[in-house]
Amino acid sequence: MLDDVDEGDGKRNPHVDGLRPGKIGFVGLGLMGSAMAANLAADGQNVCAYVRRPERIGDLQALAVAATTSLSDLFDSDIVITMLPDDAAVRDVFFGSSGIADCLQPGAIHLSMSTISTAASTEFLHAHERRGQGYVAAPVFGNPDAAKARQLSVILAGSEASCDRCRSVTDALGRTIVIGTDPAQANLIKLLGNMMTATALEVLGEIVTVLRKRGQDPQQFVDIMTGTMFDSRVHKSYGNRLIAGSYNAGLALPLALKDVRLALAEAELAGAPMPSVGVVRERLITGIARGHGPLDWTALGLVASEEAGL
């Protein structure tokens, strides 16, 4: 099943609008999550965001998002969104000693928008089913700027009924692509899609370094290639950022490394080598070791430059 209905033009499906949830809990209010929650609140959705640090409450209230430091305030939610860094964080919030799952009402849905492993996604699905709750995977492609502009691509997978109930949420964030009933499929697509970006960044970084060492303008090269054979958003956006040395707007190196490790584990499970991703893994480790961990994965270009003595 592939349902690519909403092109991110702000239009709404009347059937979906009739399924708007009563209350949306939100856990994971980083740069991405904050922008997503703010857009939902701006649409009039009843959003309650959980934060660990009280000082974050004021920041979210400035975005018209209600915030709380108590997970119990999310227990009456119709949908709880997680936008967290990894498997362990999602597991702790939902199935830890003070987790949400045991107190969430039957029929409520966990909408997992985090980049996690397929094994964890399947684990969470079965755990929610045992409790009479729904589970939908909805990882996203995009950065914080795309989140603010409602230009995320949301890969949605779960039961048809649960996906329908989540569409007023996902359609408000960008383009929804429903790919099937198995949530793990969405997580696999997200991980492998991230590997396409990671390997593109590595190659771009290497090429820009060669051009600079040969005394040529890398911007000219990127303009030529993105105007002809490689006119994708990844090559255009990241190519320009890499040349400008703009390394602070997206996925930090440790999180990129986490995604690489998950993707390589999926490849090992499939018996399908991914040697190019192995190179990216080593480059990310090098970047972190050199103190570039806080930078985003465009800094693969910085690592390439340093390796060449620039």
CATH number at residue 94: 3.40.50.720
**Taking Cα atoms as reference points, which of 69, 73, 59 lies closest to residue 31?**
59
Q: Measuring CA to CA, how many Å separate 156 from each of 68, 174, 178?
A: 27, 12, 5
pLDDT at 17 over 60: no
Segments forming the whole domain that contains residue 22: 14-181
Co-location of 235 and 287 in the same domain: yes
Q: How confident is the model at residue 21 (pLDDT cuts 50, 70, 90)?
A: low
* Buried-state track 252-286, b at ≥16 Cβ within 10 A, e below 16: bbebbbbbbebbbebbeeeeeebeebeebbebbeb
Task: Look at residue 115 in the predicted model and tell me its pLDDT.
Answer: 97
Which residues are known to be catalytic?
190
- Residue position matching structure tokens 């409602």: 150
Q: Measuring CA to CA, how many Å separate 220 from each of 208, 214, 223, 225?
A: 10, 13, 5, 9
pLDDT at 226 over 90: yes
Query: Which residues are CB-neighbours of 126 under 8 A, at least 6 positions away?
Result: none
Residue 9 within any structural domain of the chain: no
pLDDT at 7 over 70: no
Task: Look at residue 98 in the predicted model and tell me its pLDDT.
Answer: 83
Domain count along the chain? 2
pTM of the model: 0.90
Co-location of 139 and 171 in the same domain: yes
pLDDT in tens, 105-127: 999 999 999 999 999 999 999 99
Q: Choose the final residue of a domain: 181, 212, 244.
A: 181
- What is the C-alpha to C-alpha distance for residues 270 and 284, in angstroms, rounded to an integer? 23
- C-alpha neighbours within 13 Å on the C-beta side of residue 123: 11
Burial group, residue 3, by CB count within 10 angstroms (0-12, 13-18, 19+)? middle
**Token pair for 292:** 């570039």
Residue 5 within any structural domain of the chain: no
Co-location of 142 and 94 in the same domain: yes
